[in-house]
Protein backbone atom coordinates (compact mmCIF):
# COMPACT_ATOMS: atom_id res chain seq x y z
CA UNK A 1 0.00 0.00 0.00
CA UNK A 2 1.29 3.45 -0.91
CA UNK A 3 1.53 5.94 1.96
CA UNK A 4 2.42 9.55 2.65
CA UNK A 5 5.32 10.48 4.91
CA UNK A 6 2.89 11.18 7.75
CA UNK A 7 1.24 7.78 7.37
CA UNK A 8 4.60 5.99 7.26
CA UNK A 9 5.79 7.58 10.51
CA UNK A 10 2.52 6.76 12.26
CA UNK A 11 2.57 3.18 10.97
CA UNK A 12 6.13 2.68 12.22
CA UNK A 13 5.28 3.93 15.70
CA UNK A 14 2.10 1.85 15.80
CA UNK A 15 4.11 -1.27 14.97
CA UNK A 16 2.18 -1.79 11.76
CA UNK A 17 3.02 -2.23 8.09
CA UNK A 18 0.46 0.34 6.98
CA UNK A 19 -2.25 2.71 8.20
CA UNK A 20 -5.08 4.54 6.47
CA UNK A 21 -6.70 7.94 7.10
CA UNK A 22 -9.44 7.75 9.70
CA UNK A 23 -8.02 4.77 11.59
CA UNK A 24 -7.59 5.01 15.36
CA UNK A 25 -4.15 3.81 16.41
CA UNK A 26 -1.92 3.70 19.47
CA UNK A 27 1.67 4.83 18.96
CA UNK A 28 4.92 4.85 20.88
CA UNK A 29 6.45 8.27 21.53
CA UNK A 30 9.93 9.59 20.96
CA UNK A 31 9.35 12.71 23.06
CA UNK A 32 6.68 14.24 25.30
CA UNK A 33 6.85 18.01 25.89
CA UNK A 34 5.32 20.37 28.42
CA UNK A 35 5.81 24.01 29.41
CA UNK A 36 5.14 26.15 32.46
CA UNK A 37 1.45 26.61 31.56
CA UNK A 38 0.51 23.13 30.37
CA UNK A 39 2.82 20.89 32.39
CA UNK A 40 1.32 21.70 35.84
CA UNK A 41 -2.07 20.32 34.74
CA UNK A 42 -0.37 17.27 33.21
CA UNK A 43 1.60 16.71 36.40
CA UNK A 44 -1.60 16.77 38.46
CA UNK A 45 -3.13 14.13 36.18
CA UNK A 46 0.11 12.14 36.22
CA UNK A 47 -0.06 12.04 40.03
CA UNK A 48 -3.54 10.52 39.90
CA UNK A 49 -2.18 7.59 37.91
CA UNK A 50 -0.12 6.46 40.86
CA UNK A 51 3.06 6.30 38.78
CA UNK A 52 6.42 6.30 40.53
CA UNK A 53 8.38 7.01 37.33
CA UNK A 54 8.06 8.51 33.86
CA UNK A 55 8.39 6.18 30.89
CA UNK A 56 11.88 7.52 30.08
CA UNK A 57 13.56 10.47 31.87
CA UNK A 58 15.42 11.29 28.64
CA UNK A 59 12.26 11.35 26.50
CA UNK A 60 10.35 13.95 28.53
CA UNK A 61 11.14 17.64 27.99
CA UNK A 62 9.96 20.43 30.29
CA UNK A 63 10.59 23.99 29.17
CA UNK A 64 9.32 26.92 31.26
CA UNK A 65 9.03 29.59 28.58
CA UNK A 66 5.60 31.25 28.60
CA UNK A 67 5.60 33.35 31.79
CA UNK A 68 9.34 33.18 32.40
CA UNK A 69 11.30 34.85 33.75
CA UNK A 70 8.37 34.70 36.17
CA UNK A 71 6.18 37.78 36.02
CA UNK A 72 4.27 37.29 39.30
CA UNK A 73 3.73 34.95 42.21
CA UNK A 74 1.30 32.70 40.33
CA UNK A 75 3.71 32.12 37.46
CA UNK A 76 6.54 31.55 39.93
CA UNK A 77 4.48 28.87 41.68
CA UNK A 78 3.72 27.17 38.37
CA UNK A 79 7.38 27.08 37.43
CA UNK A 80 8.31 25.83 40.89
CA UNK A 81 5.79 22.99 40.54
CA UNK A 82 7.34 21.93 37.21
CA UNK A 83 10.87 22.29 38.59
CA UNK A 84 10.13 20.03 41.56
CA UNK A 85 8.54 17.40 39.31
CA UNK A 86 11.62 17.43 37.09
CA UNK A 87 13.86 16.94 40.11
CA UNK A 88 11.73 14.19 41.62
CA UNK A 89 11.53 12.17 38.42
CA UNK A 90 15.06 12.99 37.27
CA UNK A 91 13.93 14.59 34.01
CA UNK A 92 17.09 15.05 31.97
CA UNK A 93 15.71 17.66 29.59
CA UNK A 94 14.45 20.27 32.02
CA UNK A 95 15.60 23.73 30.98
CA UNK A 96 15.94 26.43 33.62
CA UNK A 97 15.94 30.18 33.05
CA UNK A 98 19.35 31.15 31.71
CA UNK A 99 19.61 27.86 29.85
CA UNK A 100 16.13 27.57 28.41
CA UNK A 101 14.70 29.04 25.26
CA UNK A 102 11.34 29.24 23.55
CA UNK A 103 10.49 25.54 23.44
CA UNK A 104 9.95 25.19 19.68
CA UNK A 105 13.23 26.96 18.95
CA UNK A 106 15.08 25.10 21.68
CA UNK A 107 14.25 21.45 21.01
CA UNK A 108 15.45 21.35 17.37
CA UNK A 109 18.56 23.29 18.34
CA UNK A 110 19.35 20.77 21.10
CA UNK A 111 18.85 17.76 18.81
CA UNK A 112 15.95 16.46 20.89
CA UNK A 113 13.56 16.19 17.93
CA UNK A 114 14.71 14.36 14.83
CA UNK A 115 13.57 13.08 11.43
CA UNK A 116 11.16 10.16 11.69
CA UNK A 117 10.23 10.94 15.30
CA UNK A 118 6.74 10.97 16.76
CA UNK A 119 6.40 13.84 19.22
CA UNK A 120 3.55 15.18 21.31
CA UNK A 121 3.54 18.43 23.22
CA UNK A 122 0.99 20.17 25.36
CA UNK A 123 1.31 23.23 23.17
CA UNK A 124 -0.46 23.70 19.86
CA UNK A 125 2.69 24.79 18.03
CA UNK A 126 4.40 21.45 18.63
CA UNK A 127 3.69 20.93 14.92
CA UNK A 128 6.89 22.97 14.34
CA UNK A 129 9.10 19.86 14.32
CA UNK A 130 7.54 18.57 11.12
CA UNK A 131 10.14 20.77 9.42
CA UNK A 132 12.66 18.05 10.27
CA UNK A 133 10.57 15.30 8.72
CA UNK A 134 8.94 14.25 12.01
CA UNK A 135 5.30 13.77 12.99
CA UNK A 136 4.68 16.23 15.79
CA UNK A 137 1.43 17.57 17.10
CA UNK A 138 -0.13 19.38 20.03
CA UNK A 139 -2.21 17.52 22.62
CA UNK A 140 -4.08 18.32 25.81
CA UNK A 141 -2.47 18.14 29.22
CA UNK A 142 -4.23 14.86 30.08
CA UNK A 143 -2.80 13.21 26.98
CA UNK A 144 0.61 14.57 27.97
CA UNK A 145 0.18 13.00 31.42
CA UNK A 146 -0.53 9.60 29.87
CA UNK A 147 2.35 10.11 27.44
CA UNK A 148 4.80 10.85 30.24
CA UNK A 149 3.62 7.77 32.14
CA UNK A 150 3.31 5.24 29.33
CA UNK A 151 5.34 6.57 26.41
CA UNK A 152 2.28 6.14 24.21
CA UNK A 153 -0.57 8.19 22.76
CA UNK A 154 -3.58 7.49 20.55
CA UNK A 155 -4.20 9.16 17.19
CA UNK A 156 -6.67 9.23 14.38
CA UNK A 157 -4.64 8.98 11.19
CA UNK A 158 -5.13 12.31 9.36
CA UNK A 159 -5.81 12.76 5.68
CA UNK A 160 -2.93 14.47 3.90
CA UNK A 161 -2.93 17.63 1.81
CA UNK A 162 -0.04 18.42 -0.54
CA UNK A 163 1.18 22.01 -0.99
CA UNK A 164 3.57 22.52 -3.90
CA UNK A 165 5.54 25.77 -4.17
CA UNK A 166 7.10 26.26 -7.60
CA UNK A 167 9.76 28.79 -8.55
CA UNK A 168 12.13 30.99 -6.57
CA UNK A 169 11.29 33.37 -3.77
CA UNK A 170 11.32 37.12 -4.29
CA UNK A 171 13.59 39.33 -2.18
CA UNK A 172 12.47 39.63 1.46
CA UNK A 173 10.02 36.73 1.11
CA UNK A 174 10.52 33.82 3.51
CA UNK A 175 8.72 30.94 5.15
CA UNK A 176 6.42 33.27 7.08
CA UNK A 177 5.16 34.83 3.87
CA UNK A 178 4.58 31.44 2.24
CA UNK A 179 2.54 30.12 5.14
CA UNK A 180 0.56 33.34 5.59
CA UNK A 181 -0.25 33.32 1.88
CA UNK A 182 -1.30 29.67 2.14
CA UNK A 183 -3.51 30.24 5.17
CA UNK A 184 -5.00 33.22 3.38
CA UNK A 185 -5.85 30.87 0.53
CA UNK A 186 -7.38 27.96 2.45
CA UNK A 187 -8.56 29.68 5.66
CA UNK A 188 -7.99 28.92 9.33
CA UNK A 189 -9.95 25.67 9.04
CA UNK A 190 -8.85 24.75 5.53
CA UNK A 191 -6.66 21.87 6.74
CA UNK A 192 -8.68 20.86 9.78
CA UNK A 193 -7.29 17.62 11.23
CA UNK A 194 -5.20 17.06 8.13
CA UNK A 195 -1.49 16.74 7.49
CA UNK A 196 -0.03 19.65 5.51
CA UNK A 197 2.89 18.38 3.43
CA UNK A 198 5.08 21.13 1.95
CA UNK A 199 7.17 20.39 -1.16
CA UNK A 200 8.47 22.03 -4.35
CA UNK A 201 11.47 24.01 -5.55
CA UNK A 202 10.84 26.90 -3.17
CA UNK A 203 10.74 24.53 -0.18
CA UNK A 204 13.88 22.70 -1.30
CA UNK A 205 15.71 26.04 -1.34
CA UNK A 206 14.16 27.25 1.92
CA UNK A 207 16.39 27.32 5.00
CA UNK A 208 15.65 25.13 8.00
CA UNK A 209 14.62 28.27 9.88
CA UNK A 210 12.09 29.02 7.15
CA UNK A 211 10.77 25.46 7.15
CA UNK A 212 10.37 25.55 10.94
CA UNK A 213 8.35 28.74 10.56
CA UNK A 214 6.03 27.15 7.99
CA UNK A 215 5.35 24.01 10.01
CA UNK A 216 4.93 26.09 13.16
CA UNK A 217 1.87 27.76 11.65
CA UNK A 218 0.23 24.63 10.23
CA UNK A 219 -2.02 24.71 13.28
CA UNK A 220 -3.27 28.15 12.20
CA UNK A 221 -4.89 26.36 9.25
CA UNK A 222 -6.39 23.81 11.63
CA UNK A 223 -3.91 21.10 10.64
CA UNK A 224 -3.01 18.10 12.79
CA UNK A 225 0.59 18.46 11.65
CA UNK A 226 2.80 20.14 9.09
CA UNK A 227 5.68 18.29 7.50
CA UNK A 228 8.56 18.75 5.05
CA UNK A 229 10.16 15.60 3.60
CA UNK A 230 13.76 15.54 4.86
CA UNK A 231 16.63 16.13 2.42
CA UNK A 232 20.30 17.09 2.39
CA UNK A 233 19.51 20.42 4.04
CA UNK A 234 17.77 18.52 6.83
CA UNK A 235 20.71 16.15 7.19
CA UNK A 236 23.16 19.04 7.42
CA UNK A 237 21.06 20.56 10.20
CA UNK A 238 20.50 17.45 12.32
CA UNK A 239 23.72 15.45 11.97
CA UNK A 240 25.68 17.89 14.14
CA UNK A 241 22.89 18.01 16.75
CA UNK A 242 21.43 14.50 16.92
CA UNK A 243 22.07 12.55 20.11
CA UNK A 244 20.45 9.33 18.84
CA UNK A 245 19.66 7.61 15.52
CA UNK A 246 17.03 9.02 13.18
CA UNK A 247 15.21 7.91 10.05
CA UNK A 248 14.34 9.74 6.84
CA UNK A 249 10.89 8.96 5.46
CA UNK A 250 9.35 10.15 2.21
CA UNK A 251 5.96 9.91 0.56
CA UNK A 252 5.41 7.30 -2.12
CA UNK A 253 5.04 8.73 -5.61
CA UNK A 254 1.52 7.34 -5.87
CA UNK A 255 0.45 8.18 -2.31
CA UNK A 256 -3.09 9.46 -1.93
CA UNK A 257 -3.86 13.05 -0.98
CA UNK A 258 -7.27 14.48 -0.22
CA UNK A 259 -6.25 17.72 -1.95
CA UNK A 260 -3.27 19.28 -3.73
CA UNK A 261 -2.61 23.02 -3.95
CA UNK A 262 0.06 24.55 -6.16
CA UNK A 263 1.58 28.03 -5.91
CA UNK A 264 3.98 30.09 -7.98
CA UNK A 265 6.30 31.24 -5.20
CA UNK A 266 7.87 33.87 -7.45
CA UNK A 267 4.54 35.73 -7.40
CA UNK A 268 4.16 35.76 -3.62
CA UNK A 269 5.10 39.08 -2.06
CA UNK A 270 5.76 39.89 1.62
CA UNK A 271 2.55 39.29 3.52
CA UNK A 272 0.66 40.98 6.34
CA UNK A 273 -2.22 39.30 8.17
CA UNK A 274 -4.83 41.80 9.30
CA UNK A 275 -6.78 41.45 12.57
CA UNK A 276 -8.21 39.25 13.86
CA UNK A 277 -7.28 36.03 12.04
CA UNK A 278 -4.13 34.72 10.33
CA UNK A 279 -6.27 34.01 7.24
CA UNK A 280 -6.69 37.77 6.69
CA UNK A 281 -3.42 37.77 4.78
CA UNK A 282 -2.70 40.34 2.08
CA UNK A 283 0.38 41.66 0.26
CA UNK A 284 2.18 44.31 2.29
CA UNK A 285 1.25 46.92 -0.32
CA UNK A 286 -2.36 46.70 0.93
CA UNK A 287 -1.26 47.45 4.50
CA UNK A 288 1.19 50.27 3.89
CA UNK A 289 0.64 53.38 5.98
CA UNK A 290 -1.12 51.70 8.92
CA UNK A 291 0.36 53.41 11.98
CA UNK A 292 1.79 51.30 14.80
CA UNK A 293 2.43 51.57 18.52
CA UNK A 294 4.56 48.46 18.91
CA UNK A 295 6.61 45.99 16.89
CA UNK A 296 7.54 42.55 18.28
CA UNK A 297 10.16 40.43 16.53
CA UNK A 298 10.68 36.94 17.93
CA UNK A 299 8.52 34.01 19.15
CA UNK A 300 8.62 30.31 18.25
CA UNK A 301 7.69 31.40 14.73
CA UNK A 302 10.41 33.95 13.94
CA UNK A 303 12.95 34.11 16.77
CA UNK A 304 15.77 32.22 15.04
CA UNK A 305 19.14 33.42 13.73
CA UNK A 306 17.93 33.95 10.17
CA UNK A 307 15.15 36.17 11.49
CA UNK A 308 17.52 38.24 13.59
CA UNK A 309 20.00 38.60 10.74
CA UNK A 310 17.24 39.78 8.41
CA UNK A 311 16.10 42.27 11.03
CA UNK A 312 19.64 43.55 11.60
CA UNK A 313 20.25 43.91 7.87
CA UNK A 314 17.40 46.42 7.77
CA UNK A 315 17.81 48.14 11.14
CA UNK A 316 21.59 48.48 11.43
CA UNK A 317 22.70 52.11 11.33
CA UNK A 318 19.10 53.35 11.44
CA UNK A 319 16.73 54.41 14.21
CA UNK A 320 13.40 53.08 15.40
CA UNK A 321 10.62 55.60 14.80
CA UNK A 322 10.10 57.77 17.89
CA UNK A 323 6.38 57.09 17.93
CA UNK A 324 6.64 53.38 18.67
CA UNK A 325 8.43 50.79 20.81
CA UNK A 326 10.24 47.74 19.45
CA UNK A 327 10.81 44.50 21.36
CA UNK A 328 13.16 41.86 19.95
CA UNK A 329 13.34 38.40 21.53
CA UNK A 330 15.95 35.83 20.46
CA UNK A 331 14.48 32.32 20.57
CA UNK A 332 17.17 30.67 22.71
CA UNK A 333 20.25 31.50 24.73
CA UNK A 334 22.42 30.05 21.96
CA UNK A 335 20.74 32.32 19.40
CA UNK A 336 21.11 35.26 21.80
CA UNK A 337 24.83 34.55 22.20
CA UNK A 338 25.40 34.14 18.46
CA UNK A 339 23.59 37.42 17.78
CA UNK A 340 25.75 39.06 20.44
CA UNK A 341 28.93 37.76 18.83
CA UNK A 342 27.85 38.99 15.40
CA UNK A 343 27.11 42.50 16.70
CA UNK A 344 23.42 42.09 15.95
CA UNK A 345 22.22 42.87 19.46
CA UNK A 346 24.37 45.99 19.51
CA UNK A 347 22.74 47.12 16.27
CA UNK A 348 19.28 46.60 17.79
CA UNK A 349 20.06 48.56 20.94
CA UNK A 350 21.69 51.38 18.99
CA UNK A 351 18.58 51.54 16.81
CA UNK A 352 16.43 52.02 19.91
CA UNK A 353 14.96 48.54 20.35
CA UNK A 354 14.60 46.60 23.60
CA UNK A 355 16.21 43.14 23.54
CA UNK A 356 14.79 40.46 25.85
CA UNK A 357 15.99 37.15 27.23
CA UNK A 358 14.13 34.26 25.53
CA UNK A 359 10.43 34.17 26.44
CA UNK A 360 7.04 33.65 24.83
CA UNK A 361 5.84 36.65 26.90
CA UNK A 362 4.16 39.11 24.51
CA UNK A 363 3.01 36.52 21.95
CA UNK A 364 0.29 35.22 24.28
CA UNK A 365 -0.34 38.50 26.04
CA UNK A 366 1.57 37.25 29.05
CA UNK A 367 4.18 39.93 29.75
CA UNK A 368 7.09 41.84 28.17
CA UNK A 369 4.91 43.77 25.73
CA UNK A 370 1.21 43.94 26.57
CA UNK A 371 -1.00 46.22 24.47
CA UNK A 372 -3.31 48.85 25.95
CA UNK A 373 -6.79 49.70 24.71
CA UNK A 374 -6.71 50.99 21.14
CA UNK A 375 -3.04 50.16 20.54
CA UNK A 376 -1.87 48.49 17.36
CA UNK A 377 1.08 46.10 16.99
CA UNK A 378 2.87 44.39 14.15
CA UNK A 379 4.39 41.08 15.26
CA UNK A 380 6.28 38.15 13.80
CA UNK A 381 4.25 35.88 16.09
CA UNK A 382 1.69 33.35 14.88
CA UNK A 383 -1.71 34.53 16.11
CA UNK A 384 -3.61 37.80 16.03
CA UNK A 385 -6.89 36.84 17.69
CA UNK A 386 -8.94 39.39 19.64
CA UNK A 387 -7.03 40.23 22.83
CA UNK A 388 -4.13 37.93 21.92
CA UNK A 389 -1.45 40.45 22.91
CA UNK A 390 -3.33 42.45 25.49
CA UNK A 391 -6.50 44.53 25.63
CA UNK A 392 -9.48 43.14 23.65
CA UNK A 393 -9.70 46.49 21.87
CA UNK A 394 -6.09 46.35 20.67
CA UNK A 395 -5.07 45.07 17.25
CA UNK A 396 -2.31 42.71 16.11
CA UNK A 397 -1.01 42.43 12.55
CA UNK A 398 1.30 39.58 11.57
CA UNK A 399 4.28 39.63 9.21
CA UNK A 400 7.74 38.24 8.64
CA UNK A 401 10.84 39.88 10.16
CA UNK A 402 11.69 41.95 7.07
CA UNK A 403 8.38 43.80 7.03
CA UNK A 404 8.42 44.11 10.83
CA UNK A 405 11.92 45.62 10.85
CA UNK A 406 11.14 48.09 8.08
CA UNK A 407 7.90 49.10 9.77
CA UNK A 408 9.74 49.66 13.05
CA UNK A 409 11.83 52.30 11.30
CA UNK A 410 8.95 53.92 9.45
CA UNK A 411 6.45 53.98 12.30
CA UNK A 412 3.84 52.39 10.07
CA UNK A 413 3.55 49.22 8.03
CA UNK A 414 5.78 49.38 4.95
CA UNK A 415 7.69 47.01 2.71
CA UNK A 416 11.47 46.77 3.14
CA UNK A 417 11.96 48.38 -0.28
CA UNK A 418 10.25 51.53 1.01
CA UNK A 419 12.96 51.90 3.66
CA UNK A 420 16.00 50.56 1.85
CA UNK A 421 15.28 51.21 -1.79
CA UNK A 422 16.53 48.85 -4.49
CA UNK A 423 20.10 48.81 -3.17
CA UNK A 424 19.34 46.10 -0.61
Res 395 pLDDT > 60: yes
Q: Give the pLDDT score at 424.
A: 44
Residue span of the structural domain in which 302 resides? 272-418
Percent of the chain at pLDDT above 70?
99
Tell me the per-residue pLDDT of 197-207, one tens digit each, with 9 for 90 and over.
999 999 999 99
User: Quick check: is 352 in a domain?
Assistant: yes
Q: Give the pLDDT score at 422.
A: 56
Q: Give the pLDDT score at 423.
A: 46
Residue 311: burial class (beta carbons within 10 Å; 0-12, 13-18, 19+): buried
Tell me the per-residue pLDDT of 19-53, one tens digit each, with 9 for 90 and over.
999 999 999 999 999 999 999 999 999 999 988 89
Q: Give the pLDDT score at 294.
A: 98
Averaged pLDDT, 118-125: 97
Contact 8, 249 (CB under 8 A): yes
User: Quick check: is 423 in a domain?
Assistant: no
Question: Residue 1: pLDDT band by 50, 70, 90 thresholds?
Answer: confident
Q: Say how far apart CA 157 and CA 376 lie, in whole Å.
A: 40
Res 359 pLDDT > 80: yes
Res 286 pLDDT > 50: yes
Same domain membership, residue 136 and residue 29: yes
Res 97 pLDDT > 70: yes
Nearest CA to 46 out of 34, 64, 28 is that of 34
Same domain membership, residue 153 and residue 197: yes
Same domain membership, residue 182 and residue 107: yes
Same domain membership, residue 394 and residue 366: yes
Same domain membership, residue 177 and residue 82: yes
User: Quick check: is 424 in a domain?
Assistant: no
Q: Where is the domain boundary, 243, 263, 283?
A: 263
Report the number of distinct structural domains present in the chain.
2
Question: Residue 134: pLDDT band by 50, 70, 90 thresholds?
Answer: very high
Q: Where is the domain boundary, 213, 233, 263?
A: 263
Res 317 pLDDT > 80: yes
What is the overall mean pLDDT for the chain? 96
Same domain membership, residue 255 and residue 403: no
Q: Give the domain CATH number at 298.
A: 3.30.499.10
Q: Say how far apart CA 31 and CA 56 lie, in whole Å.
A: 9
| CA of residue 77 relative to chain centroid, distance | 26
Question: Residue 420: pLDDT band by 50, 70, 90 thresholds?
Answer: confident
Instruction: Give the gyration radius of the chain's Cα atoms.
Output: 21
pTM for the whole structure: 0.94
Q: Where is the domain boundary, 214, 238, 263?
A: 263
Averaged pLDDT, 358-376: 93
Amino acid sequence: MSMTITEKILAKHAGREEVSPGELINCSLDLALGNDITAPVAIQEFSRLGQDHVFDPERVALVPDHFTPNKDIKSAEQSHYVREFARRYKIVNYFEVGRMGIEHCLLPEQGLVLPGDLIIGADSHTCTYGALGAFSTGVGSTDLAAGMALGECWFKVPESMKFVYHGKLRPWVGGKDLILHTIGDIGVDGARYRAMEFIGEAIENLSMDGRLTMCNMAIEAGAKNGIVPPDERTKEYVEKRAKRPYTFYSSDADASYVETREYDASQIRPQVAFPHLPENSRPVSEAEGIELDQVVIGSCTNGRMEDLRTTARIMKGRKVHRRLRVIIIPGTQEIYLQALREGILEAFVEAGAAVSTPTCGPCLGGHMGILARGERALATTNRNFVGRMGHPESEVYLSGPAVAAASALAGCIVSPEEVLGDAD
